[in-house]
Amino acid sequence: MKKEFTARQLRKLLTAAVIILFIVGVGGFYLAYQALLTNGKEVSNEVANAKASNDLSTSLAALKVALASQQEIADVANNLYATADNWQSSANRDIKAYAALSDITISSISFNNATADPATEQSDPAATPATSGPTRSVVVEIESPVSYSGLLTFMTYIQHNTPKMQILSVELSRGVSRGDTIGVTALTIGVYTK
């Protein structure tokens, strides 16, 4: 016995099938929308991370270029102070060279390893703040008489030296042979050291 459907039953069956298909379609659409939303957020985060990484790489590259272009300035800054190991040889070489350029004859050079200013000495070296003055001194004895302009030239060279040196004291007397000469017994030069 074969059961046949009536038109009314087929219409109910077709309506139920359409409703089920509609519900399945809406559910599928919702799930697909949620998946796309999640993937969109992940892609957006990846794009933001990539952009930030690219910006960081760009600024690091720019910083490297800036540092490379400023290397000469950094080298000059490092050379402003003599080291504790080489300050005597550096000062001796520079003083003799400047004396030769200024037509001054040096009779002796003596070095003082103590600080140039006793007020800056402390018992604890770790507690010593950076000093604003020279940390070592050199006493230069010059054969007199010397020309006044030669002495000024020599002192200018000393003041503009790298590593930094500074004239601390000059012992002068009146020149006896000519009007443009001056007697210099000793010149104390401070040397800045690290």
* Same-domain pairing of 91 and 187: yes
| pLDDT computed for residue 11 by the predictor | 92
Domains contained in the chain, number:
2
Q: In the structure encoding, which two tokens stand for residue 106, read together?
A: 């040096």
What kind and span of H or E run contains 121?
none
| Selection from 74, 93, 72 nearest residue 191 by Cα | 93
Does the bond joining 129 to the residue before it have cis omega, within 30 degrees of 0?
Answer: no
| pLDDT computed for residue 77 by the predictor | 74
* Same-domain pairing of 112 and 176: yes
Please check whether residue 146 is in contact with residue 83, taking contact to mean a CB–CB distance below 8 angstroms. no
- Tell me if 146 is assigned to some domain: yes
| pLDDT computed for residue 126 by the predictor | 44
- Tell me if 187 is assigned to some domain: yes
| pLDDT computed for residue 132 by the predictor | 65
| Selection from 87, 83, 138, 89 nearest residue 112 by Cα | 138
| pLDDT computed for residue 67 by the predictor | 84
| pLDDT computed for residue 17 by the predictor | 95
**Three-class SS state of 31:** helix
Q: For the chain, which residues score pLDDT lower than 50?
A: 116, 118-130
Sign of CA dihedral 120, 122, 126, 127: negative
| pLDDT computed for residue 80 by the predictor | 73
Residues with Cβ within 8 Å of 13's Cβ and at least 6 positions away in sequence, in order, are 5
Please check whether residue 106 is in contact with residue 96, taking contact to mean a CB–CB distance below 8 angstroms. yes
Please check whether residue 90 is in contact with residue 82, taking contact to mean a CB–CB distance below 8 angstroms. yes
| pLDDT computed for residue 118 by the predictor | 41
Last residue of a domain, one of 17, 38, 69: 69
Domain that holds residue 157: 87-191
Tens of pLDDT, residue by residue over 99-137, are 999 999 999 999 987 654 544 444 444 444 445 667 889
| pLDDT computed for residue 120 by the predictor | 44
Q: In the structure encoding, which two tokens stand for residue 62, read together?
A: 């720019």
pTM for the predicted model, two decimal places: 0.55
* Same-domain pairing of 94 and 184: yes
